[in-house]
Amino acid sequence: MRNSEAIEKRRTFGIIAHPDAGKTTLTEKLLLFGGAIQTAGAVKNNKIKKTATSDFMEIEKQRGISVATSVMAFEYAGKQVNILDTPGHKDFAEDTYRTLTAVDSVILVIDCANGVESQTEKLMEVCRMRNTPVIIFVNKMDREGKDSFTLLDELEDKLTIKVRPLTWPIGMGDRFKGVYNIYQQNLNLFQANKTKREEEIVSIKDLNDPQLNDIVGDAFADELREELEVINGVYDEFNREAYLRGEVAPVFFGSAVNNFGIQELLDTFIEISPSPIGRESDSRYVEPNDAKFSGFVFKIHANLDPKHRDRIAFLRIVSGKFERNKFYHHVRMEKNFKFPNPTSFMAQDKSVIDEAFPGDVIGLYDTGNFKIGDTLTEGEKMMYKGIPSFSPEIFMELENLDPMKSKQLDKGIRQLTDEGVAQMFIIQPGNRKIVGTVGQLQFEVIQHRLINEYAANCRFAPKNYFKACWITTEDKTQLESFIKAKGNYLAKDKDENLVFLAETQFLLNMAEQDYPDITFHKTSEFKLES
């Protein structure tokens, strides 16, 4: 396939939502309508989870939260749709933010009763930073929720983006009749239907058509006419260019669990969403149709399959064509690697691929060479920018409960922290391991995985650190005196970089004042800062 054709064919996007708004359900329904799975309910019944798709870990099932990010690809209407799943829980926000660097657009799911929630706002901020095009799906219309106009105002206010409804609900909750597709001028009548994908669509081009009254009754028909008049008066015509610039978000209404409103969403998504776009590197902007291959790693996951000890780096292809068994340049390591078993993630399966194109996300088996943000090229020395790194906020010491298993524990914590959801600092004497994260729940996940995946019995004990600061300086004397004075608060990260673990803001300020020639970096990305 020619590159330009492949690029035009691909749609790579993420679904984001505050937990419980219906992201998992919508993902499943998109797979259902896309023909990638045959029965709904599979994600929830864990039928799919067990094989390859959404969530990897037992803990996720127990807690009902989606922790890991995975990729699901399927073909629909001549397009290859790549869905990048993201965790909704705030403790895993980092993972979601990084995944958003690998998508070209997003679908944001809102619960019609809860409206814009805290996580919704944060996720939108990240989208706005990169002007990512956003489609909004207002879910759970089969339940009583906020008035739809109030909701649109709330979306505009809190998310600081213009909205433009492309479908419009008729009633809600018990009185929910269906949605009118403003874009295609037809009426989709609601039926509670949790497993199949049948929809009753009636074409009503002229809203004055008395058929509308016959179908939904006089009161609803009049209400719909009035409301659509208001919409057409208040909101500008939908403008695809403005959507692609991230300035206006088209809005759809529906009920994911009832398969309702999904077809409109999917069809419009295919029509309007962007094909793969380029990315900024530290030396230039790279277009997807650049002849030479390049891509970046945005996620690493160890032990994807507990039966095989493997680690997979998720690579988003930005330009050119990726080919199996061809040597590519690992820019940070200044080494060339080839990949005999790159995998794609078609909905139910992981399978080895021979080639992949811009917009695709592939899995590369990794023996420890990759870090998040790493760039592969055909030789050009450039690194992709904008992969956020985080300063840990919560610290705990990892305690080994089984001295016979220290090797496993050591290996496990190193591999898991390589995934980028936590950082590890080692304090001497005694090789004590301090783990820092941005969310409490990560400790539970790490502990659970250490026990289950590495058979390393362990627990975490809280530590009262306020911040970890990587320190650099040209002034050796000052460094020596700092090490002498603060030795008890110094640790090394996994790459042997010196880190100051400050207990309070005050102590950090004092250190900065007393040692003016030392730089205190708040994230581990200091090498890129200079």
**Which chain residues interact with ligand G4P by CB under 6 A?**
17, 19-25, 44, 66, 88, 139-140, 142-143, 255-258
Which residue's CB is nearer to ligand G4P, number 94 or number 374?
94
* Minimum distance, C-beta of residue 391 to ligand G4P, in the bound complex (Å): 27
* Minimum distance, C-beta of residue 450 to ligand G4P, in the bound complex (Å): 26
* Minimum distance, C-beta of residue 135 to ligand G4P, in the bound complex (Å): 16
* Minimum distance, C-beta of residue 62 to ligand G4P, in the bound complex (Å): 13
Which residue's CB is nearer to ligand G4P, number 24 or number 442?
24
Which residue's CB is nearer to ligand G4P, number 258 or number 377?
258
* Minimum distance, C-beta of residue 157 to ligand G4P, in the bound complex (Å): 22
Which residue's CB is nearer to ligand G4P, number 21 or number 346?
21
Which residue's CB is nearer to ligand G4P, number 29 or number 311?
29
* Minimum distance, C-beta of residue 303 to ligand G4P, in the bound complex (Å): 23
The token duo for 73 is 């690809």
CB-hemisphere CA count at 13 Å for 264?
Answer: 34
* Minimum distance, C-beta of residue 112 to ligand G4P, in the bound complex (Å): 9
DSSP helix/strand/coil, 177: coil
DSSP helix/strand/coil, 41: coil
Residue 18, burial from CB neighbour count under 10 angstroms (0-12, 13-18, 19+): buried
Closest by CA position to 478, among listed 514, 429, 529 = 514
Backbone angles phi, psi at 390, to 5 degrees: -125, 150
Residue 225, burial from CB neighbour count under 10 angstroms (0-12, 13-18, 19+): middle
| Polymer length of the chain | 530
Q: How far is CA 223 from CA 171, 173, 212, 228, 523, in A?
A: 9, 16, 11, 9, 54
Instruction: Please report, in angstroms and rounded to a whole number, the separation of the first and last CA atoms in the chain.
Output: 41
Backbone angles phi, psi at 47, to 5 degrees: -65, -40
* Minimum distance, C-beta of residue 443 to ligand G4P, in the bound complex (Å): 21
Q: Residue 20: which residues within 8 A CB-CB, separation 6 or more?
A: 88, 111
* Minimum distance, C-beta of residue 146 to ligand G4P, in the bound complex (Å): 15
Which residue's CB is nearer to ligand G4P, number 33 or number 520?
33
Between CA 363 and CA 176 the distance in angstroms is: 43
Which residue's CB is nearer to ligand G4P, number 18 or number 521?
18
What would the 3-class secondary structure string for 389-416 be? Answer: CCCCCEEEEEEECCHHHHHHHHHHHHHH
Closest by CA position to 468, among listed 397, 528, 512, 523 = 523
Which residue's CB is nearer to ligand G4P, number 255 or number 408?
255
